[in-house]
A and B are shown apart, each in its own frame.
Chain A
Amino acid sequence: MSSMELGIVLVLLCALIEGFAQVCLKKSAMLVEGRVAWIATGIGFFCIEALLYSIALQWLDISVAYPLGAASFLAVSGFSRWLLKESLDARRIAGLGLIVMGCAMVVAQG
């Protein structure tokens, strides 16, 4: 794997972590009990994400890494549908499709 590909994988992993961390924060806002635990978990994941993103930035242009991070919209939608049972309407799915295509183009140019 080239270092650029590794960077891309890392940013996508960051997006996945971001999605999970956001769901943790939402959980903390929804619950009465166990709030602090969810917030702490969310913040913990954000810290891991920051570390991985820093590593990715060693290999990627910021004009690639930052827009690619928009993949987190996909992760947030996926995790909130799965874990929070939030609904996904057609408009949102179309938007996610555009984001995926946009990310692919950003990566394609490099």
Chain B
Amino acid sequence: MGSKNPHHGLTPGLALGLALAIVLDTLAQLLWKHAVAGLPENASIQVTLLAALDQPWFAVVIGLFLVQLWNWLGVLKHADLSFAQPITSISYLAVAVASWWLFGETIGPVKTTGILFILAGVWLTSQGPRNTRVESERTR
């Protein structure tokens, strides 16, 4: 484990992959919310499920997740998870801003601070040793 150490150099391809990961995450969340909002309220499970099958946005969301998986595996081929994960957690911020802009959701100071705490937390948790046994390999 850890014999091959992908270095941290940010190549144009990797930067594109990371940017795409953020965009896809954000888009998937927004469309998921949009798709759910289109379902009938307080309907039976049967009616809701039929409505969901009729709602093309759910298929789009599933498609986005598949593309995201493919892109993410590509990113991880060229970067450590501890490098990629904190960067893509920017999508927490992107989703909040986009939801305010597109859906008119409230983003007050408390929520903003909370999201920043989460970003800092993700950053910290991602920096630990990658492998329980391998501790002194990072070069950045």
Interface on A for B, CB 8 Å cutoff? 53-54, 57-58, 61-67, 70, 73, 77, 86-87, 89, 91-92, 94-110
Nearest CB in chain A to that of B102: its residue? A62
Chain A, interface SS category: helix
Please tell me which one of the listed residues A53, A86, A96, A103 contacts residue B114 in the complex, with CB atoms under 8 A apart: A103
Q: Is the CB of B95 within 8 A of A62?
A: yes
A77 CA to B128 CA, complexed, in Å = 12
Which residues of chain B come closer than 8 Å to A94, judged between CB atoms?
Answer: 124
Q: Is the CB of A106 within 8 A of B33?
A: no
A101 CA to B129 CA, complexed, in Å = 23
Other A-B pairs beyond A87-B132, A99-B122, A100-B121, 14, CB < 8 Å: A61-B99, A63-B96, A63-B99, A70-B89, A70-B92, A70-B118, A73-B121, A95-B124, A99-B118, A102-B116, A102-B120, A105-B111, A105-B114, A105-B117
Nearest CB in chain A to that of B33: its residue? A62
Please tell me which one of the listed residues A58, A67, A108 contacts residue B96 in the complex, with CB atoms under 8 A apart: A67
Q: Is the CB of A92 within 8 A of B124?
A: yes
Nearest CB in chain A to that of B30: its residue? A62
Q: Is the CB of B114 within 8 A of A106?
A: yes
Q: Looking at the assembled complex, report how far the CB atom of B130 sits from the nearest CB atom of chain A, in whole angstroms.
A: 11
Name the interface size band of chain B.
35 or more
Please tell me which one of the listed residues A61, A92, A100 contacts residue B105 in the complex, with CB atoms under 8 A apart: A61
Residue B90 is within 8 A (CB to CB) of chain A in the complex: no
Nearest CB in chain A to that of B58: its residue? A54
Q: Looking at the assembled complex, report how far the CB atom of A70 sits from the nearest CB atom of chain B, in whole angstroms.
A: 5
Nearest CB in chain B to that of A55: its residue? B36
Q: Looking at the assembled complex, report how far the CB atom of B118 sits from the nearest CB atom of chain A, in whole angstroms.
A: 4
Please tell me which one of the listed residues B37, B92, B119, B120 contacts residue A66 in the complex, with CB atoms under 8 A apart: B92
Complex A-B: 5 CB contacts under 8 Å: A62-B103, A64-B111, A67-B118, A106-B114, A109-B110
Q: Looking at the assembled complex, report how far the CB atom of B132 sits from the nearest CB atom of chain A, in whole angstroms.
A: 5
Nearest CB in chain A to that of B114: its residue? A105
Residue B88 is within 8 A (CB to CB) of chain A in the complex: no
Q: Is the CB of B99 within 8 A of A58?
A: no
Nearest CB in chain A to that of B127: its residue? A91
Q: Is the CB of B30 within 8 A of A98?
A: no
Within 8 A of A (CB), among B1-24: none
Which residues of chain B come closer than 8 Å to A87, judged between CB atoms?
Answer: 129, 132
